[in-house]
Amino acid sequence: MENITNILLVSGTHGNELSGLYLQKLIKDGRYDANRSTFSTSLLTGNPEAVQQQCRFLDMDLNRQFSTSRQEATSKEAKRSQALITQYADNEKQLIIDLHNTTSNMGATLILLSESPFYTKMGAYVKQRMPDANILFETRTSWPEQPYLCTMGQYGVMIEVGAQAHGSLKSETLDLMKRMTTAVLDYIEKSNLGQLDQLNAYEAYFYLEEVVVPLDQDGQRLALVHPTVCGQDFQPVYPGEPLLATFMGSDIHWQGEHEIYPHFINEAAYCASNIAMALAEKKHIEV
């Protein structure tokens, strides 16, 4: 592939996620260097109105507005996505890094939306630099149909750090974001220069499905995340083990044939959709 010559570093796609916004502040204040010899880094606030109001979004989730099959809409976020696409989607040799923090206990997670060698090698490089990091592939959907802001161009990734309450800052998660962003930037630099060292095989997670909490006839929840799962992002749940605990005293168990790995467990932003967690399988990646 061509060398990447520009990084578009995006924060504030969700207006109440502050880690990325303050990483950008460090860059503007000269306290973090996001440039390298082979590329320059530009900064973008994804949803500035939501940032100003300190809310996730105004009308609709901006980070779900970038699929090519999206419906025409008049929401503020739909208009914002179109403006961003017009300005940035055709920029060649550009990688978009979209910065997020989550209320889930996911540590530092690199979300990759393609299994091409460029991304599998990126995962290997980041994993070698940060052994405790999680590499999560969401590749069930083709690139043009991915809804995420980072897919509006040819290349893009997301960085998630947590656990961190929305609207707050934590030194630990900000440090994780700095470290993972640095690793991605260094990977691009070495890839551009043809200086990547031997990359080792690694374990990565592949998104499967979401677990939705059952509701009663009044729309009230009948269950909650099981206490053995709560806070245990990317820890295995084996067949027959519980995922949810009902208020009637019984459990809802994982019915699959193989273990799965919950993540985005109890993510606060997904409560309105009654999503308890997402599930992934683990795969061995040879580079």
160 is catalytic: yes
Instruction: Measure the CA dihedral 159/186/171/16, to 10°.
Output: -30
Q: Looking at residue 34, what DSSP letter applies? A: -
The answer to whether the beta carbons of residues 97 and 9 sit under 8 Å apart is: yes
Q: How far apart are CA 14 and CA 34, in angstroms?
A: 21
CA angle 220/263/99 to nearest 5° reads: 105
Q: Which of 138, 160, 189, 267 is catalytic?
A: 160
Query: Please, which residues bridge with residue 207 across strands?
Result: 280
**Rg from Cα positions in the chain:** 19
Q: Are 147 and 113 in contact (CB under 8 A)?
A: no
Binding residue positions for Zn(2+): 14, 17, 100
Residues within the annotated binding site? 14, 17, 100
Q: What is the rounded CA–CA span in Å between residue 269 and residue 250?
A: 26
Q: Which residues contact 131 (CB under 8 A, 6 or more apart)?
A: none
Q: Report the catalytic residues.
A: 160
